[in-house]
Each structure stands twice: as C-alpha cells, then as structure tokens.
Amino acid sequence: MGYYIDLTKISLSKYKEILESADLLPGRMILKNNLDSNFEVLKREGIKNVDEILKALKNKKSINNFALKSGLEEEYLTVLVREIKSYQPKPNKISDFPGVSETDVVKLEGIQIKNTVQLFEKVTTKQKRDEISKQTGIDEVELLRITKLTDLSRIRWVNHTFAFVLYEAGYDTVAKVANADFEKLYHDVKLLNEERKLYKAHIGLHDIKLCVEAAKDVSLEIDYEC
C-alpha cells in the first residue's frame, strides 16, 4: 500500500461508516451532522471515493464553488477536507528525530533521503536495509531504529517528537501501537515523560486513544524479521 493510506480504496459509503463510528476531535464533530443527507449530496455530485473528495475540494475557491453548486455548507466541506488530509500526515524530517546523529543525517542526505517518505520504500525489508547500510556506512542497528521511527511517523498526528516517545516507551512499531491498550500506553508514556522530560505538550488519555485507533488504519508494510 505504501507510506500513506490509498484514499482511492476508501469508497464514499465506506468513509461514511468510518465517520459514523469515529471518535473525532471536538472541532470535527460537525462531520457527524446530517451525515446521510450530506453524503447523498456528495454521491449526487459524482464523488465515488475519498480521493475524489480531495480532488474536488483542492483549494478554497473550489470548496466555495462546490458549496454553491451542491448546497453543502462551506464550513462542513472545509472540515471534511481537513479530516481527510489527516490520513496523509506531513513527513517527518530525519534530522528532527532526537538521537539521530548529524553524521547519519548527512549520509542519508547524500543519497537524497531527507524525510520519512523518502526513506520508507528503501527500508521495508532487511535486505533493503542492509543495502542502505552498506551504501551509506550507517550502523545496521541505528538504521533499524530510524526505520522504526519512520514507521511510527505514518500514524496520524505523530510528529518527530512523539514518534521518539513511542519508540522509547517500547511501542516501536505501528503494530505495537495498534495492538496496545490505550490506557496502559497513556500511563507508560506519562511515566516516561515524568522521568525524562521528553516533551512539554499536554497529551491526554483521549489523545492516546485516538493515536491507537489511527494506528489501526496504517498498513503493516515493514518486515522486521531478521
């Protein structure tokens, strides 16, 4: 499937089901209002899948035009786009990950790899990682660590700092986050931060629950078998 979720594979009807049961952020609860009728309008306008929503609403002008044409509120469409785009988080820069040496960053940049999207396809198997290690001189153990930070970065809302926090807390792959008890993960992360002061932002129980749910949407693409 690749680094990102394939939005063309999520049909309009499937996405409606997702929104019905989703634990949305407070500012996005508007998406649950008049869900059936709103999605009937999208269907009537020829929208078949989630990717087509983004193409139809690619900028402020197109959102305004679509609102006028369809009768859907511009605010609703804006929030809908924002929610869908959260499935495609901005890639993290390798240089931003705590603990990654400047030397290794330079070595990766030498083969045109600066962020997690660029690294991802090149480290999905041990054979590929071995090739990168030989090509760059980066230690295999360290490259595996960067690989896992890259994997965690595919989860919605996980930036470079929180990827590192999850890794240090022992939830070092998407699979481990997806299968975690969110209450235990919350307490593990909280305890880790109390001990090491890794971040200043407030991360609540509900935030961790959303993270675990988001991880379940991410395909397991990286083979960690030796």
The reported pLDDT for the residue numbered 226 is 58
Q: Mind listing the pLDDT tens digit of every residue in the chain (226 residues)?
A: 689 988 999 999 999 999 998 888 889 999 999 999 999 999 999 999 999 999 999 999 999 999 999 999 999 999 999 999 988 888 999 999 999 999 999 999 999 999 999 999 999 999 999 999 999 999 999 999 999 999 999 998 899 999 999 999 999 999 999 999 999 999 999 999 999 999 998 899 999 998 999 999 899 999 997 5
pTM score of the predicted model: 0.86
The Cα 15–Cα 71 span in angstroms is 20
The Cα 155–Cα 215 span in angstroms is 5
Q: Domain extents for the chain?
A: 7-85, 94-215
The reported pLDDT for the residue numbered 5 is 87
Q: What is the dihedral of CA 121, 122, 124, 128, to 10 degrees?
A: 150
